[in-house]
């Protein structure tokens, strides 16, 4: 009887297995700390959803419903906002390959991008920067950035969205 009890209460974990479990726990803690430090000390955060929209009624939206050339505006000196609609296979405004004007700001300006999709899932990645976020129908993605270096920046769609996905891009020009 005693011997049987002892056998039941003894729960054997292999040493190697135990070490892996401990290592996984340590890694989780390290990751959690690095996310917290990145967010609090370096202000690295995920782009937040900035509201919801009805993708079938974007033309009625206060900002997305404006004519494409009015969707970039200067709010204050050096402070801009851009309301961009992603669709198969362009960004409006910004897709110069579709005859639209590039989004143009002077250097040192801060611009807030509001991006939504009117059809399916797209991506928004500004090459040469760490700006990158997903664009979903029904949701507005928002991100603010300051551009000190003049040049032409391309923003591309990084989520596969069909036949001409590779041709889906727009341009941001930062002027001297």
Which residues of the chain form contacts with ligand CUA (CB under 6 A)? 89, 122, 157, 159-161, 165, 168
Query: What is the closest distance, in whole angstroms, from the C-beta atom of residue 160 to ligand CUA in the complex?
Result: 6
Closest to ligand CUA by CB, 71 vs 122, is 122
Its sign, for the CA torsion 11, 13, 15, 19, is negative
CA torsion 35-155-67-113 (nearest 10°) is: 20
Helical segments of the chain, H only:
2-9, 15-42
User: Least separation, in Å, of the C-beta of 70 and ligand CUA?
Assistant: 23
Closer residue to ligand CUA in complex, CB, 168/174: 168
Cβ closest to ligand CUA, residue 105 vs residue 140: 140
* Radius of gyration over every alpha carbon of the chain, rounded to an integer in angstroms: 24
SS3 121: coil
3-state SS of the chain: helix, strand, coil percent to 5? 30, 40, 35
Q: Which is nearer to ligand CUA, 85 or 105 (CB)?
A: 85
Q: How far is the CB of 159 from ligand CUA (least distance, A)?
A: 5
Quote the least distance from Cβ 127 to ligand CUA, whole Å: 14
């Amino acid at each position: 009887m005693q011997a049987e009890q002892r056998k039941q209460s003894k729960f054997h974990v292999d040493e190697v297995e135990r070490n892996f479990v401990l290592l996984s726990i340590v890694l989780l803690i390290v990751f959690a700390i690095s996310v917290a430090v990145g967010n609090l000390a370096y202000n690295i955060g995920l782009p937040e959803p900035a509201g919801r929209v009805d993708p079938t009624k974007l033309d009625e939206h206060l900002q997305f419903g404006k004519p494409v050339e009015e969707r970039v505006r200067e709010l204050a000196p050096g402070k801009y906002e851009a309301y961009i609609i992603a669709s198969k296979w362009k960004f409006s405004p910004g897709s110069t390959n579709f005859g639209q004007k590039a989004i143009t700001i002077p250097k040192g300006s801060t611009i807030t991008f509001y991006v939504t999709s009117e059809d399916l899932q797209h991506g928004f990645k500004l090459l040469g920067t760490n700006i990158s976020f997903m664009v979903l129908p029904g949701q507005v993605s928002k991100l603010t950035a300051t551009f000190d270096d003049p040049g032409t920046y391309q923003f591309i769609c990084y989520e596969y969205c069909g036949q001409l996905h590779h041709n889906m891009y727009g341009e941001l020009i930062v002027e001297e």
